[in-house]
Amino acid sequence: MESVHKTVLLKETIDGLNLPASAQSGDSKKVVIDATFGGGGHALQVCKNYPDIKIIAIDQDRSAIERGKEKMSGCNVTFLNQNFRELGDLQADAIIFDLGLSSDQLENSGRGFSFQKDEPLLMTMKSNPSEEYLTAKEIVNTWEEKNLADIIYGYGEEKFSRRIAKAITEARDKAEIKTTFDLVKIIERAVGRAYKRQKMHCATRTFQAIRIAVNDELGSLQEGLRKGFDSLNPGGRMAVISFHSLEDRIVKRFYSAKGGSASGGQGNREAKIITKKPITPSTEEIKNNPRARSAKLRIIQKT
């Protein structure tokens, strides 16, 4: 299936990697890791701008890789079907993390990421999850009420978390919660008129929280940042695009720990923070792609 994903902050990210100087040197050994290949927008732009650069494209969703093979035809690319927390011993001159869901996963995966489609409650990034993998269905049907409330509040920053958790446990006592629409109806009943005047759909934060828990997204991000930074050659840059405050907070703290203050700082720093403040999408980009509105790009350079 053709990708419907629109790449966020494309020019800002590629420009921020500071590749031109290295690419113009004629060194074909330069390597860029796209740690979250997804729709392939960033990797394809690197290929177009710097055809001699080797690209390592990583995604734990096999369907994304299968779509990408045709899109990246003619590029010097190696695909790895794994989570970016498994970066291992790779070495690179730049690395890109574009966090969160791609539009392809929302629209076409059939795994229950979107509350606007009636699909099985999976919410896993893996294309064909086996029985041992955690799913959203398992979480909503077996986790204790307190644990549900904790993740909905902690990962979704949902102020009605306790009310929603209680409604979920009461509903599952009557019948198993199987689909996204089953869960949406429970949430709608739980919050009542509380969300009536808000632009955000009442299920948004709960779905986000459960998805983060299913995929251990915050744990993966912390580990991926560490391994990604370790994989960078001196002078290499890491660009991270986040879409909600929990991700951005982790990235900001990691950068601060490596580089100290963006304006300088003292001591033996491991990196230089390139973006004093996060780069955000222009009004025009948000108009053309509303899903870009919460994106924040932060860039760091290894010393």
pLDDT in tens, 86-106: 988 899 999 999 997 776 667
- In this structure, the answer to whether residues 119 and 205 fall within a common structural domain is yes
Per-residue pLDDT tens for 215-228? 999 999 999 999 99
Note whether residue 223 is domain-resident: yes
Task: Please say which residue of 171, 190, 215 terminates a domain.
Answer: 215
Q: What is the pTM of this model?
A: 0.89
Which residue range is the domain that position 155 belongs to? 110-215
Q: What is the DSSP letter of 18?
A: T
Q: Alpha-carbon torsion 206, 220, 137, 153, what sign?
A: negative
Q: Alpha-carbon torsion 243, 57, 115, 177, what sign?
A: negative
- In this structure, the answer to whether residues 175 and 120 fall within a common structural domain is yes
Note whether residue 1 is domain-resident: no
- In this structure, the answer to whether residues 210 and 245 fall within a common structural domain is no
Task: Please say which residue of 215, 249, 273 terminates a domain.
Answer: 215
State the Cα–Cα distance between residues 297 and 278, nearest whole angstrom. Answer: 5
Neighbours of 196 (CB within 10 A): 8
Label residue 200 left, alpha or beta by phi (over 0 means left) and psi (-120 to 50 means alpha): beta
Task: Please say which residue of 155, 189, 215 terminates a domain.
Answer: 215
Note whether residue 3 is domain-resident: no
- In this structure, the answer to whether residues 221 and 210 fall within a common structural domain is no
pLDDT in tens, the chain (303 residues): 555 568 999 999 999 999 965 444 555 569 999 999 998 999 999 999 999 999 999 999 888 899 899 899 999 999 999 999 998 889 999 999 999 777 666 766 788 999 999 999 999 987 766 677 899 999 999 999 999 999 999 999 999 999 999 999 999 999 999 999 999 999 999 998 878 678 889 999 999 999 999 999 999 999 999 999 999 999 999 999 999 999 999 999 999 999 965 444 455 689 999 999 999 999 999 999 988 999 999 999 999
Report the DSSP beta bridge partners of residue 240: 97, 298
CATH number at residue 126: 1.10.150.170
- In this structure, the answer to whether residues 91 and 143 fall within a common structural domain is no
Number of structural domains, the chain?
A: 2
CATH number at residue 259: 3.40.50.150
**CB–CB of 202/195 below 8 Å?**
yes
